[in-house]
Amino acid sequence: MLVRVLTEPRNALLKQYTELFGLSGVELRFTSPALRQIAKSAIAMNTGARGLRTVMERILSDAMFESPGSSIRYVLVTEAVSKRECPPAYFARGQQHVFHSIIATEEEEWAVRSEERKSSTTGNNSTASGSGTSRGQSGRKRAAGFT
């Protein structure tokens, strides 16, 4: 899947952009739904993995110019941002708690939607104990840029 191409290789695009923003003292984060939407956008362009950079550039182009040298310390790319419905969310140094709460909220909503989709496709409304927890933690790790 293209999400793995974004996150897993040693020189993955996600790591490149995180490092690029980090050079300016800005923490860049993507939520799991945002990563999936970026992959879907590349597939829709019929470019596959080669189109991932184009999609990322379109999403982050304004942030790459606005954040260095400003009071912006956190940039968040959510699902809505990756759908190009709104610009990336910018947060100043004192807004770290808001930044992390938005990430947590979107990750939790995504976990619920994933479980609903999984249960509707399997026809089983009950889930194994503990399965939602591990998915939520790995989703948070992906959103944090850790894979």
Give the pLDDT of residue 121. Answer: 78
Domains defined along the chain, listed by start: 2-144 (1.10.8.60)
pLDDT of residue 90: 93
Residue 136: its pLDDT value, please?
A: 47
**CB-based burial of residue 80 (10 Å sphere; 0-12 exposed, 13-18 middle, 19+ buried)?**
middle
CA atoms within 13 A on the CB side of 31: 27
Extract the residue ranges of the chain whose pLDDT is less than 70: 123-147
From residue 86, give the alpha-carbon distance in Å to each of 89, 90, 124.
Answer: 9, 12, 36
d(CA 20, CA 57): 12
Question: pLDDT for 34-50, tens place per residue?
Answer: 999 999 999 999 988 88
| pLDDT value, residue 143 | 53
CA distances from 55 to 16, 65, 122 (A): 14, 17, 32
**Structure tokens that stand for 82 in this block:** 């990756």
